[in-house]
């Protein structure tokens, strides 16, 4: 993805987020220079990879397959493993109309996916074997707003604004917006996007960046290069 495109997506996303009554935290507005100057103060933000995240999954067709994310807060895997402390995470996502987030699952993370506003969010579901591997003809059970809902393999559920689904490790899922863009909330256990996304197809989690302009804000995938974390 071109850095100029990423900068534009950030600006458009913040406008949509504000339209739905959400305000991003102050560090969202830091320039790369400000982030570098305050990196010691922001060590927890950096190490837990809070912040901007825009991906085309390395495919190069963001409008067809991609996702905007902003991690608002995130705990540490060590706390989760020890059974105490900050064991949760929260994100805002934007799925554009007909923009696919491809079939994947998580080994550790359980998550609530919430339609926070906009159009309809469509989620395609498939089950797994005892080791969490994708099984094309297996269904399962999820909970929609706390209500048990069995699903068959490949079944699609539709979430209107205010509705949610709870996905557990081994629940394979893909999603996209239908009828317009959707602002999505994600509330989950500790999130590790570098290791805990298992895709059905051999794709990457992060975009490859063409640095045609300077970044307006850093992506979480920029932190190691720019900030040394």
Angstrom distances, CA of residue 15 to CA of 8, 73, 75, 151, 183 = 11, 20, 27, 35, 11
Task: Look at residue 64 and tell me whether its pLDDT is greater than 90.
Answer: yes
Q: pLDDT averaged over the chain?
A: 97
Q: Note the pLDDT of residue 102.
A: 98
CA angle 88, 91, 94 (to 5 degrees): 160
Q: Note the pLDDT of residue 193.
A: 94
Which of 88, 90, 171, 84 is CA-nearest to residue 124?
A: 171
Rounded percentage of the chain residues whose pLDDT exceeds 70: 100
Phi, psi of 42, rounded to the nearest 5 degrees: -95, 20
CB of 10 closer than 8 Å to CB of 2? no
DSSP-derived secondary structure letter, 222: G
Q: What is the pTM of this model?
A: 0.96
The hierarchical CATH code for the domain 3-227 is: 2.60.120.10
CB of 180 closer than 8 Å to CB of 144? no
Element (H, E) at 18: helix 3-19
Task: Look at residue 199 and tell me whether its pLDDT is greater than 90.
Answer: yes
Q: Note the pLDDT of residue 174.
A: 98
The Cα–Cα gap between 60 and 82 comes to 39
DSSP-derived secondary structure letter, 208: P
Q: Note the pLDDT of residue 229.
A: 86
Q: Note the pLDDT of residue 154.
A: 97
124-134: pLDDT as tens digits: 999 999 999 99
Domain boundaries, the chain: 3-227
210-229: pLDDT as tens digits: 999 999 999 999 999 999 98
Averaged pLDDT for residues 15-36: 97
């Amino acid at each position: 993805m071109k850095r100029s495109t990423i900068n534009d997506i950030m600006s458009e996303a913040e406008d949509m987020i504000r339209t739905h009554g959400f305000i991003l935290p102050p560090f969202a507005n830091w320039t790369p220079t400000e982030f570098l100057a305050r990196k010691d103060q922001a060590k927890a933000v950096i190490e837990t990879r809070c912040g901007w995240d825009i991906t085309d999954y390395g495919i190069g067709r963001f409008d067809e397959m991609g996702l905007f994310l902003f991690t608002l807060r995130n705990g540490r895997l060590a706390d989760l493993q020890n059974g105490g402390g900050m064991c949760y995470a929260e994100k805002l996502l934007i799925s554009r109309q007909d923009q696919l987030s491809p079939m994947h699952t998580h080994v550790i993370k359980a998550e609530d996916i919430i339609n926070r506003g906009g159009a309809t969010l469509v989620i395609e579901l498939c089950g797994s074997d005892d080791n969490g591997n994708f099984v094309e003809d297996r269904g399962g059970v999820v909970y929609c707003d706390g209500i048990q809902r069995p699903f068959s393999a490949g079944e699609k559920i539709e979430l209107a604004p205010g509705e949610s689904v709870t996905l557990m490790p081994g629940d394979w899922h893909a999603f996209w917006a239908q009828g317009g863009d959707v602002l999505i909330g994600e509330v989950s256990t500790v999130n590790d996007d570098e290791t805990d996304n298992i895709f059905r197809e051999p794709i990457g989690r992060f975009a490859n960046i063409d640095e045609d302009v300077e970044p307006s804000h850093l992506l979480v995938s920029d932190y190691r290069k720019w900030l040394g974390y």
